[in-house]
Amino acid sequence: MKRVTVGGQAVIEGVMMKEKNHYAVAIRKPDQEIVCIKKECKSLSDKCKLFKLPIFRGMLAFVESMMLGVSILTLSAEYFEDDTTPEEPGGFDKFLNKVFKDKADDIIMGIAVLFAIAFSVGLFILLPSFISHLLRGIIKYNVVLNLAEGLIRITLFLTYVVAISYMKDIRRVYEYHGAEHKTINCLEHEEELTVENVRKYSRLHKRCGTSFLLIVMIITMLFFMFINTDTLLMKMALRLLLIPVVAGISYEFLRFAGRSDSIIMDILSKPGMALQKLTTREPDDSQIEVAITAVNEVLEHEQQPAECCIN
């Protein structure tokens, strides 16, 4: 099986595919037309060699993927705004446009990324730490207490994933997520990218971001199990400080798993693959068509054309 560096992300009624320093976003508009936006996205690792080293490259990839993800989700949402009744910019938007002028959009994007990170850290890192701290009177052993914290964290994460899956828009995103994986699996098996060929492949993939998040949860539990402190403030501070390290290690595991066909790595990848059954759904032909378009566009930009045959 061919190893490719193409990665992707599902967005609102579309799919983003990234290859090296370029990405393409294919979006199905309400009138059923497929539009494709291609852009360059240079990584900080091109300027700072430190971020090409193991662990450090994972830290950077985590931040850059978060920023790119928010940017693309915002871009895809713009195609579903009501153009017949343009909205007047709000007071906050007017303030940013006045103060930052041409950089206002970048500032808004930065705020959105910070908000997303703060929400994720608060819900999945700090809240479990707080809950486990309340259990100190019941659980006497620190190792058991830290294990309980890890289980609370994983439970919150799984509950969140299941809860949002009931939202109609999220279910559509999950279907495009499945289309993304199927298309990459087809590409890796070096088959012609047609709807028929793509449809027969699995909607699960080892290099999925969902697997990455679960790996982060598990490694976090293992790390924190042996880091003991009696004060809640110190406990939370240590959790926050170790987030980049955990992200870096998780990235290396996922990167190696995606390149390995060993039985051991297949077994270790099973939990993440199982979780993808919640975050992906079987796509229809029109969604697969969008994913194929995104792959073709990004490969064409990298001068690696893949023929797209849509029936």
Domain boundaries in the chain?
7-82+91-309
pTM, 2 dp? 0.83
pLDDT tens digit sequence for 216-226: 888 888 888 87
pLDDT tens digit sequence for 227-280: 777 788 888 888 888 888 999 999 998 888 878 878 888 888 889 899 999 999
Mean per-residue pLDDT for 101-123? 73
SS3 assignment for 55-108: CHHHHHHHHHHHHHHHHHHHHHHHHHCCCCCCCCCCHHHHHHHHHHHHHHHHHH
Angle among Cα 7, 72, 283 to the nearest 5 degrees reads: 60
pLDDT tens digit sequence for 183-242: 999 999 999 999 999 999 999 998 898 888 888 888 888 888 877 777 888 888 888 888
> Which is nearest to 213 in space by CA: 65, 57, 17?
65
